Amino acid sequence: MQKNSDITAITQLVVCERESRDMGFWNRMRSCFHADATVNISWFQGNGHDFVAASKDMAGRGMMAKHRLGPVLVTLNANRAIATVAGIIDIPLKLDDKDFTLSAYCVMFYRAEQRSGAWRLGSFECIYRRDELVPAILGQSVELPVQLLTQYRPSYRNLSYSLHLKGYVVNHELPGEDRPETVSAIYQQHYAWAGLPVPN
């Protein structure tokens, strides 16, 4: 049976982690993760606490991501829960001295676990949907390396290019709607971990 207080705590935990990322509240962001948490997203694969340090480094490189979040859906089973939230990641970019915004559409997947009476995040992953580059001043354009872009996954092509420009190595085997089997797999894995059936 789901407890409203637990659902509220997990919802706030997810929102706190993302707001902390956007605002540079690094210690608060770190406190959202269990020490053994894992993160597997486009530009980072590793421990949750290391992810916080890497996010701080990314901000220092001038890649100032901000997140637009939809409602958080929590599915609870005793001391384990799955939390999902549809979101848009906005990153300002300068290309040929012109200002653009990269917007990456995704579904963020979290595992949350209650230990010693406290909920913390045990993992963070994304399902990538699509992305776009929009000029800050409508009508401005930029010539992009089409041959390079066509090598990237359609579900996070512009994000991959933007990360490439900042020196990041992108994982091209992540869950994305261009590969439906990867979406099914992440649902199966997360819900199995929580001891829950996959929604149908």
Q: For residue 29, report the phi and psi dihedrals to the nearest 5 degrees.
A: -60, -45
For residues 120 and 112, what is the distance between their CA atoms, to the nearest angstrom? 6
Predicted confidence band of residue 149 (pLDDT cuts 50, 70, 90): very high
Tens-digit pLDDT profile for residues 23-80 = 999 999 999 999 999 999 999 999 999 999 999 999 998 899 999 999 999 999 999 9
| Percentage, residues of the chain above pLDDT 70 | 99
For tokens 């789901």, name the residue. Answer: 2
Domain 4-193: give its CATH architecture: Roll (3.10)
pLDDT at 1: 46
For residues 53 and 51, what is the distance between their CA atoms, to the nearest angstrom? 5
Predicted confidence band of residue 196 (pLDDT cuts 50, 70, 90): very high
Tens-digit pLDDT profile for residues 26-35 = 999 999 999 9
Predicted confidence band of residue 7 (pLDDT cuts 50, 70, 90): very high
Q: Mean of the per-residue pLDDT values for the chain?
A: 96
List the one residue out of 131, 130, 127, 128 whose CA is nearest residue 101: 131
The residue ranges of every structural domain in the chain are: 4-193
pLDDT at 62: 87
In this prediction the pTM is 0.93
Residue 3 has pLDDT above 90, yes or no: no
